[in-house]
Amino acid sequence: MNTKLSDALFQRAVKHIPGGVNSPVRAFGSVGATPRFIAKADRQFIWDADGNLYVDYVGSWGPMILGHNHPAVREAVLRAVEDGLSFGAATEREVEMAELICEMVPSMEVSRMVNSGTEAVMSAIRAARGYTGRSKVIKFAGCYHGHSDAMLVKAGSGGLTTGIPDSAGVPAGCARDTLTADYNDLASVEALFWENREEVAALILEPVAANMGVVLPEEGFLQGLRKLCDENGTVLIFDEVITGFRLAKGGAQEYFGVRPDLSTFGKIIGAGMPVGAYGGRREIMQMVSPVGPVYQAGTLSGNPVAMAAGLAQLHYLNEHPEVYEHIAALGKRLCDGLREAAPGCTVNGLGSLGCLFFTGGPVTGYSSARSSDTQAFGRYFLHMLEKGIYLAPAQFEAVFLSDAHTDADIDYFVDAAAEYFKSEGAVR
């Protein structure tokens, strides 16, 4: 596979961009390669600068649930652009977006648009602290909630891949009030509540932990967290940046039937454009300025072009429930196929999310996820890339399926994986 132009672009990039990439998750260092520079995308396909074609299973890290360049989204963006790119003022589309989110998501009574998932989480935690008058926050090892200082404690996603889950540059005081529990371990949460009685403002988690691979909540875990938060007067926050509008129209909270107090969402609200949102119970959100004393602002929040893109995608999902049936069927086909193709490995999946772990035995949390052989994943990644299958360049990321993918795509994926595991030196 010719990568001459991508390689040349990377050499230019490293001179002026840290590591040659604008986000660590784009780096190929952990898989022993250099990034492909993407030139265009359409449906389930992407093309790099050298013209190489790939079937894409990253989907801009999740928001492309309908596939790239979906006609409804593209047309909405083109119409919006004719009226201008940014106003920094209130627009009708913001109102329509708030109404639609509150209609689709069970817990949402009031929402506020922001510009990223990181910003949504940071703002939701501040609102919870303002509402409760408390300071401490419980998170789970391996769950990633963006790169705000207080959340970079045993974080997932790129932090796991680099082996630096805690970031330099974060003062000790910023993380002092962040308490870490073990995912799927209610006893660890109970212990933290007991040790910090009447001090915990919020408990935040990914309801499906999709930043340490894909780790599913065990039966009763989410319900147990809801009960503990109720008993302790603590705000339960679901980080649905990945699961929101993907597992179901109403996200993981609809899928599992557990209602959080606040929720955070990311770029799926903008069909891949830079956007996010947080919201939930009215009495908590009434704490947010300009109504209440919790200050949070964003000059470009609710950008009209991003709102147009997001409205088109969310309306489509709302009106076409068959999308969820299709992508869930694809997910089952992929995970079943990989379980057969990858002996000695573990495959976790739910709906349109999946992950192949290079470890034996169940993966139920941070410790078991970290047991995965990342070097073996790197060899597998390069094999799949050579076959024209574009995966996230890290063991601890999900495979994202879209409505544009087909059964033939999944079968090709499984066959390519089986070829890797049958090849010399790859059998575990």
Q: Which residues participate in catalysis according to the annotation?
A: 144, 239, 267
What would the two tokens of residue 36 be?
């492909």
The answer to whether the peptide bond before residue 290 is cis (omega within 30 degrees of 0) is yes
* Residue at token pair 């790099």: 48
The β-bridge relationship of strands 178-181 and 38-42 is unpaired
- Alpha helix positions (H), 290-402: 304-319, 322-341, 366-370, 374-386
Residues 6+ apart with CB under 8 A from 420: 379, 380, 383, 384, 426
Cβ of 416: how many Cβ atoms within 10 Å? 18
Residues 6+ apart with CB under 8 A from 424: none
* d(C-alpha 229, C-alpha 275), whole Å: 29
* d(C-alpha 127, C-alpha 250), whole Å: 22
Query: Exposed, middle or buried by CB within 10 Å (0-12, 13-18, 19+), for 96?
Result: middle
Edge to edge, what strands does the sheet with 346-350 contain? 346-350, 353-357, 399-400
* d(C-alpha 98, C-alpha 143), whole Å: 27
Distance of CA 110 to the CA centre of its chain: 22
Distance, first Cα to last Cα, the chain: 27
* d(C-alpha 174, C-alpha 171), whole Å: 5
Edge to edge, what strands does the sheet with 389-390 contain? 38-42, 45-48, 53-56, 389-390
Burial 130-139 (b: 16+ CB within 10 A, else e): bbbebebbbb
* Residue at token pair 């010719």: 2
Q: Which helix (H) or strand (E) holds 291?
A: none
